[in-house]
Amino acid sequence: MTILELRDLHVTYKSDRGDVPAVRGVDLAIAAGETVGLAGESGCGKSTIAGAVLRLLPRDTIVGGQVLLNGDDVYELKPGRLRAVRWTAAAIVFQGALHSLNPVRRVGEQIEEAIVLHSDRGDAGTHAVRDRITGLLERVGLRPDLARSYPHQMSGGQRQRVLIALALACEPDLLIADEPTTALDVMVQAQVLELLAELQRDRGLALLFITHDLSVLSTTCDRLAVMYAGRVVEEGRTVDLLKTPQHPYTRALARAFPTIGDPRSRMNPSGLGGDPPDPTHLPSGCPFHPRCDMAIEACATADVLLRPIRPDRAAACVHVAVSA
Amino acid sequence: MSELLRLAGVHVTYQSSGRSGVVRAVDGIDLTVDRGEVLALVGESGCGKTTLIRAIIGLEPMTSGSIVFDGATVATGQRELRRLRRRVQMIFQDPTGALNPRATIYEAVAEGIRIHGLAGPEPELVATALAQAGLRPPERYMPRFPHEVSGGQRQRVLIAGAMVLGPQLLLADEPVASLDASVRGEILALMRVLVDTTGISIVAVTHDLGLAWNIADRIAVMYLGRIVEVGDAEEVLADPLHPYTKALLSVVPEADRMEQQILVGETPDPANVPSGCRFHPRCPLVASGEAERLGIIDRCRSVDVQLVASPGGRRSVACHAVRLPNDG
């Protein structure tokens, strides 16, 4: 069953410098029990998509296309219904747990607030709600008595777990994790990733995993979509996509994460020259062509959209042969 | 290769205001760095790796131990430290925070020249350093402000500001942790080129074992204020001997190479160092019963374990369960 579907999503921010087209036509679908990774550099539009799904973007932002959550168009919802959809249909775990939690309230109270405001699971202070908080904390591997702690009394890993507990408070069908482990240490990152995988197995959650770290996505996701300049430039099954990247950008991104033990990357770090494009001044033609080592003359003028290569695989590059 | 830096018995302790009293952030480190070498110092947050490199340039006071740099013991007087800091430069994780937002890139690089009273035409020194750090043509970058360039370019500015003083040692604290993957490789390549072309040495503090694989000659693994394993990067990463190194390597997210050993909890508190081997409460050998089978469990719990070098001296490990192979 499809939980989330983006249809030709466009997001344009308003700024002093004019319109900033952050997302320029993205189609994406996530089924129940599926993990989809959204990869790309800073500014490619991946976090904007997270905000767009739950209408968390600035009020004057122009959103085009459709965001369907369990079949409902999120942008057609009445305010009351929207509030119900947030947290119960989809919830977000952000990076930087310290900023997402209220520093002057105990974490238990913050989880309670989410339960009381967004679901019909009982009123504040009742046993039902307290049991639910205990259950949530245990679910994410925290001691229930930590409910009485303030965020600053916890470690980074514990706070990230609290955010996951919060996101699960109303049993959403979709969890959006935006760089959930970027601020964490390797060992704690492994713990959080394991937790997310477990939750997904047990609850059949649909998971949209957003990060610049392709190596994290490689171990967690069924499918990957790689974004560049507001568009998906390649998508496919994770293993397939990482083993045989078709778009030159995916290839460069994959090479940037060395496999320890691989002689090709030993004493040979690999990056990608140049900077991500400024969304207000996108290059002509294929937006990647100024940084592309395979660019030909046509790339400077002809924009290439995502094209299917074979079932479950598509890329937006002039060098890619289109499937019949 | 000749030795540039030698740390012997370095301790950094703090008096804590809490119940526990003494915080042993760096708890007895012996380590050498050769000329023209990249050493990766890896470990989790709170293991003392940043404190250690800050102690090298006197930003953290050593409680005991000695540092020999370029053949001379480092004194702790202000004047001596200033001389040292020209020859030992530091770059940080967050280039945005490390740069003054109101100073141009030219000013950022020239500041060190002025502080250390370097001889020579300032504009040329700045231009050369910027070009060396890959900001070419340098004239284009000089008048810009930090916010006008990308994160990767800001890190290059910091590297230029360090290199302009002609240092012998660069201390890099998580130099690429805040950068995008594409930029990461570029900065690492630059660091390796600087080492190979100028003969400078780099100590890179990181939790990223991929960085070590990409650019480091040697690797030292720290746990709770101590080095638990040190050796050639390739050997340590291909064949880790300490159970902590093994665990760290197992959680590097890449398409499932080995079974993950996810350690529970976070790095324990340096104000409350466990007895015996400080790693034993989290050690997979202890948890699995392997230490018991080997008949070493009592020593794991009660005998503090020191780094033991292989006969050839190229590899050292601090673990009761490890017998080092002879490396000639």
A197-204 — which CB contacts under 8 Å span 24+ positions?
A: A199/A139, A199/A164, A199/A168, A199/A175, A200/A33, A200/A35, A200/A175, A203/A171, A204/A32, A204/A33
Going by C-alpha positions, the residue among A121, A56, A65 that lies closest to residue A88 is A121
Cβ <8 Å between B151 and A42: yes
pLDDT tens for each residue of B200-245: 999 999 988 999 999 999 999 999 999 999 999 999 999 999 999 9
User: Tell me, what's the pLDDT at A115?
Assistant: 85
State phi, psi for A321 to the nearest 5 degrees: -75, 130
**pLDDT at res. B257:** 57
Chain B residues whose beta carbon lies within 8 Å of the beta carbon of residue A212: 180-181
Every domain range in chain A assigned CATH 3.40.50.300: 2-89+172-283
For B3-317, CATH number? 3.40.50.300
Residue A271 is nearest to which of B186, B207, B264, comparing CB atoms? B186
Which of chain A's residues have a Cβ under 8 Å away from the Cβ of B136? none
- For residue A16, count CB atoms less than 10 angstroms from its CB and return exposed for 0-12, middle for 13-18, buried for 19 or more: exposed
User: What is the pairing mode between strands B226-232 and B316-317?
Assistant: antiparallel
Task: Name the fold adopted by A2-89+172-283.
Answer: Rossmann fold (3.40.50)
Interchain pair B253, A212: CB under 8 A: no
The pLDDT tens digits of the residues spanning B283-308 come to 999 999 999 999 999 999 999 999 99
Secondary element (H or E) of residue A289: none
- State residue A52's pLDDT score: 95
Q: Which chain A residues are within 8 Å of B47, Cβ to Cβ?
A: none
pLDDT tens figures, B252-287: 877 555 678 888 766 678 888 999 999 999 999 999
pLDDT-based confidence at B328, cuts 50/70/90?
Answer: very low
Rounded to 10 degrees, what is the CA torsion of B279, B281, B283, B289?
140
Supply the mean pLDDT for chain B. 91
The full 3-state SS of A244-266, as one line of letters, equals: CCCCHHHHHHHHHCCCCCCCCCC
A244 touches chain B (CB under 8 A): no
Judged by CB atoms closer than 8 Å, whether chains meet at A256 and B184 is answered as yes
Nearest residue of A to residue B180 by CA position? A41
User: Measured between CB atoms, which of A188, A212, A260 is closest to B237?
Assistant: A260
Q: What ipTM, to 2 d.p.?
A: 0.87
DSSP state of B314: S
Q: What is the pLDDT of residues B71-104, one digit of tens each?
A: 999 887 888 888 898 999 999 888 888 899 999 9
Whole-prediction pTM value? 0.89
B181 and A269 in contact by Cβ < 8 A? no
